[in-house]
Homo-oligomer: A and B are copies of this chain.
């Protein structure tokens, strides 16, 4: 799927924040922060990444549905749903 352009800025903002959080983790390790606090921060970064993933999946599935209506032949919704379900499963198994 192309064209998640509408919320592209939103994704970029989230990813820049996540990048900052990962740099924060480096500082925490550098300063030998109590490891339980580092783990809490890792949970929070993971949650932020999953929110990005859920946003992308949501758009993908909606795109499959919209596209199915059109049937313009450019893309195969069945194939796209297979890929979405495999992506689902990978996220679930991570």
Most chain B beta carbons < 10 A, residue from A39, A68, A91: A39
Chain B residues whose CB sits within 8 angstroms of the CB of A66 once the complex forms: 68
B-chain residues with CB within 8 Å of residue A38 when the two chains form the complex: 56
CA distance A94 to B54 in the complex (A): 13
Main secondary structure of the interface of A (DSSP, over half): helix
- Copy total for this chain: 4
> Could you tell me how many residues of chain A have their Cβ less than 8 Å away from some Cβ of chain B?
63
A residues near B, CB below 8 A?
Answer: 1-5, 8, 11-12, 15-16, 18-19, 22-23, 25-26, 29-30, 32, 34-36, 38-40, 42-43, 45-47, 49-50, 52-54, 56-62, 64-66, 68-69, 71, 77-78, 81, 83-94
